Amino acid sequence: MDKKRIRFLLADIFYISLMVVPIILGMILKVLTTPMSEGIQITGAQIYFTIPMPIQNLVITSAQINSFLVMIGILGLCLFLTHGLKTKNISTRQHIAEWIVEKVNNLVKQNMGEYFIGFSPFIAAMLALSGFSSLISLLGLFPPTSDLNVVAGWAVITFVLITYYKLKCGPLYYLKSLASPILLTPLNVIGEVATPVSMAFRHYGNVISGSVISVLIAAGLSGLSHILLGWLPGFIGEFPLFQIGIPAILSIYFDIFSGCLQAYIFAMLTMMYVSDGFPMEDYFKKRKKKQEVV
């Protein structure tokens, strides 16, 4: 085997390790830091430590740590899929990478228009981060999407983008749009602030509700098994009959389908709010007038 092939394989191993090792470290960290408990509990993100800050202390939780682990894993996946790109006789991984790029580009074009094609990397990153952040719950890790602070941060980024494109025609144009009609100005201002709030609570609420429902159903099934079999002697009386299969089926919906669906909805809302808030016609008219003056 030549040196070029060896370097290629070593790079692949490194990229795969970027995908796998962070999740393994996250699982080890959870095992080492989670206190022993009896029964089923519904808790938020575990607090690891607190960094003193002038205004408010910065609390580092499992949601933040797992978010960074997911981002490192996504980085490894992107590097792996784009490693060894060719123009002829392309590999399966390149087919997958090109398919992802094509689908995201089409999604952005259909919902935002050709002008916003540069949003494709941002939308792809948002879909991947949100989707994988929900899917890590299948490995027993706390999903960052179950923490309102994490999702609210994403919503604030979206709000900044919305406001940026609304200001493309100038601050006066933006303020005028808030006062049109004048009687609805307070409602328009409230609507501006409500956008990131509604996006954050919608995503967080749907994900956390699925987790709570799954835990409650698992607890109920455990109690039902004990009621029906608890009078039997030995191992049979402790056998969790109704906890076999049913929680796994529910996990397919709440952890996989619902998590991916919420990622898609969040990305769609981002595209819709940004494109609808951008006064494209007025912006190009104003730009054309400036060019004519020059």
Q: Is the pLDDT of residue 31 over 90?
A: no
- The residue ranking higher by pLDDT, 180 or 158, is 158
pLDDT at residue 88, as a whole number? 85
251/255 Cα distance (integer angstroms) = 5
**Placement of tokens 């455990």 in the chain:** 222
- DSSP at 48: E
150/131 Cα distance (integer angstroms) = 13
Helix H or strand E encompassing 60: strand 58-61
pLDDT at residue 291, as a whole number? 74
Phi, psi for residue 49 in degrees, rounded to 5: -160, 170
**pLDDT average, residue stretch 7-21:** 93
- The residue ranking higher by pLDDT, 95 or 258, is 95
**pLDDT average, residue stretch 61-80:** 93
**Placement of tokens 């929900």 in the chain:** 134
**pLDDT average, residue stretch 62-78:** 93
Per the DSSP assignment, residues forming a β-bridge with 50 are 59
- DSSP at 256: I
65/79 Cα distance (integer angstroms) = 21
% of residues, the chain, pLDDT over 70: 83
Could you tell me what percentage of the chain is helix, strand and coil, using 3-state DSSP and rounding each to the nearest 5? 80, 5, 20
Nearest to 207 by CA among 129, 134, 127, 123: 134
Q: Is the pLDDT of residue 20 over 90?
A: yes
**pLDDT average, residue stretch 164-177:** 85
pLDDT at residue 138, as a whole number? 79
**pLDDT average, residue stretch 29-35:** 81
Nearest to 153 by CA among 128, 121, 126: 126
pLDDT at residue 271, as a whole number? 92
**pLDDT average, residue stretch 250-269:** 82
pLDDT at residue 37, as a whole number? 58
Q: How far is CA 126 from the centre of its chain?
A: 6
Q: Is the pLDDT of residue 197 over 80?
A: yes
